[in-house]
C-alpha cells in the first residue's frame, strides 16, 4: 500500500513495505527512478540494522553468532502507518520474535517523511526498548532517475577536496583505496567509476551533494549528520544512488564482533537517537 504526501511544490509516495520512498514528483516529473528489475528491484530502501555486507553474513554478540543479509531486514518488512497529514507521514517498525532471532535487541524504528516547500525531509528515530546496550547501523539508499546520456550528469560536492574511495571486494572492504579526482567541486559521471562497486567515502567533511545535468542542478541531498557516503549505480542503469550512512560494511579483516564493527552506533538502554537527511528538488 502506498501513502501519498504533498504540498503545492512536491508530491511523494511511500510504500508501507520497507517504508520505502517510491516517487517524488515536481511539475509532473518523477525524480526517483522507476524500477526495472533487469538492473535493480528497489527505489530507496532503508538500510537497518546493518549497512552493507557482513563477513560470512554473520556477526557475533555475547558469544553467539547471528546471520543477517546485506543491508539488514527492514527493507523487506511491512511498517505501520502511525500518523498522516497532507504533507507528512510517520511509519514504525517494532521488533518481533522473528527479528530477535537475527537481531537480539528490542527496538522501535520510526521514519518520518515530511515536505517543506521544495524539500523532502526523512527523519529516522531508533529507540532501544530493552535493558541492555544496542548496536545498530542505519542509512539511506535513494536511486535518482538519470534520463538520457549518463555522461551528461555530474555530482557537485560542497568541498573542493579530492576524494578517497574505500574499495569493496565481494561486498566487503578490501583495505585498498583509490583517489577520485574532482574538477573543482565537480565529479563528472561515467559508468567506469562503478566498475568495482560503489564509491565509498569514510568520515568525509562532505555534507551535501547536488546532481547536475548539463551543469544545471536537479536536486541536492543534505546529510550533515551522516559520516559515511556511498555513491552507486550499475552499468547502463538509468539511476544514480546517493547514500548517506551511519555505518558501513565489514572488511575482510573484521573480527565479526558487533561491538567492534567499524561505524556501529551504540544506543544505551531505553534511549533513542534521531538522524535526518533531506533532498531539495529544483
pLDDT of the residue at 162: 80
Domain count, the chain: 1
pLDDT of the residue at 17: 97
Cβ neighbors of 63 (< 8 A, separation 6 or more) are none
pLDDT of the residue at 160: 78
Range of the domain at 32: 2-281
Find out whether 279 and 223 touch, Cβ atoms under 8 Å: no
Distance separating alpha carbons of residues 26 and 9, to the nearest angstrom: 6
pLDDT of the residue at 205: 86
Q: Look up the pTM and report it.
A: 0.96
pLDDT of the residue at 230: 97
Backbone angles phi, psi at 271, to 5 degrees: -105, 170
Of the candidates 106, 103, 107, 108, the one whose C-alpha atom is nearest the C-alpha of residue 64 is: 103
Report the b/e string of 5-39 with b at 16+ CB within 10 A: beeebbbbbbbbebbbbbbbbbeeeebbbeeeeee
Distance from the Cα of residue 138 to its chain's centroid: 7
CA angle 255, 267, 95 (to 5 degrees): 90
Report the b/e string of 243-257 with b at 16+ CB within 10 A: bbbbbbbbbeebeee
Q: How many helices (H) and strands (E) does the chain have?
A: 1, 25
Return the C-alpha cell found at 248.
Answer: 558501513
Find out whether 264 and 136 touch, Cβ atoms under 8 Å: yes
Distance separating alpha carbons of residues 37 and 51, to the nearest angstrom: 22
Scanning the structure block, which residue is given the C-alpha cell 539508499? 141
Distance separating alpha carbons of residues 233 and 6, to the nearest angstrom: 28
Distance separating alpha carbons of residues 81 and 43, to the nearest angstrom: 19
pLDDT of the residue at 66: 97
CATH at 125 = 2.70.98.10
pLDDT of the residue at 5: 98
Cβ neighbors of 129 (< 8 A, separation 6 or more) are 95, 106, 107, 108, 270
Of the candidates 217, 23, 12, 33, the one whose C-alpha atom is nearest the C-alpha of residue 143 is: 33
For 27, the enclosing helix (H) or strand (E) is none
For 98, the enclosing helix (H) or strand (E) is helix 97-100
pLDDT by position in tens, the chain (length 282): 899 999 999 999 999 999 999 999 999 999 999 999 999 999 999 999 999 999 999 999 999 999 999 999 999 999 999 999 999 999 999 999 999 999 999 999 999 999 999 999 999 999 999 999 999 999 999 999 999 999 999 999 998 778 899 999 999 999 999 999 899 999 999 999 999 899 999 988 899 999 999 999 999 999 999 999 999 999 999 999 999 999 999 999 999 999 999 999 999 999 999 999 999 999
Amino acid at each position: 500500500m502506498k501513502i501519498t504526501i504533498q504540498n503545492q511544490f512536491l508530491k511523494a509516495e511511500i510504500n508501507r513495505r520497507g517504508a520505502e520512498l517510491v516517487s517524488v514528483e515536481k511539475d509532473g516529473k518523477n525524480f526517483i527512478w522507476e524500477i526495472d528489475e533487469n538492473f535493480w528491484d528497489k527505489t530507496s530502501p532503508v538500510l537497518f540494522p546493518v549497512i552493507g555486507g557482513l563477513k560470512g553474513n554473520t556477526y557475533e554478540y555475547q558469544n553467539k553468532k547471528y546471520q543477517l543479509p546485506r543491508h539488514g531486514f527492514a527493507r523487506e518488512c511491512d511498517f505501520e502507518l502511525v500518523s498522516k497529514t497532507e504533507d507528512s507521514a510517520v511509519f514504525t517498525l517494532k521488533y518481533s520474535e522473528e527479528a530477535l532471532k537475527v537481531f537480539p535487541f528490542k527496538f522501535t524504528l520510526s521514519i518520518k517523511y515530511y515536505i517543506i516547500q521544495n524539500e523532502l525531509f526523512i527523519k529516522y528515530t531508533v529507540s532501544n526498548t530493552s535493558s541492555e546496550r544496542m548496536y545498530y547501523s542505519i542509512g539511506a539508499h535513494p536511486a535518482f532517475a538519470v534520463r538520457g546520456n549518463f555522461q551528461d550528469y555530474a555530482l557537485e560536492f560542497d568541498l573542493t577536496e579530492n576524494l578517497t574511495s574505500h574499495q569493496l571486494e565481494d561486498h566487503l572492504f578490501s583495505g585498498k583505496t583509490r583517489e577520485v579526482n574532482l574538477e573543482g567541486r565537480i565529479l563528472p559521471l561515467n559508468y567506469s567509476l562503478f566498475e568495482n562497486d560503489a564509491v565509498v567515502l569514510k568520515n568525509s567533511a562532505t555534507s551535501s551533494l547536488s546532481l547536475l545535468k548539463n551543469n544545471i542542478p536537479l536536486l541536492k541531498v543534505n546529510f550533515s549528520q551522516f559520516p559515511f557516503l556511498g555513491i552507486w549505480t550499475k552499468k547502463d542503469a538509468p539511476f544514480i544512488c546517493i547514500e548517506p550512512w551511519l555505518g558501513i560494511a565489514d572488511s575482510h579483516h573484521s573480527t565479526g564482533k558487533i561491538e567492534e564493527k567499524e561505524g556501529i552506533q551504540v544506543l544505551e538502554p531505553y534511549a533513542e537517537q534521531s538522524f535526518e537527511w533531506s533532498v531539495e528538488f529544483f
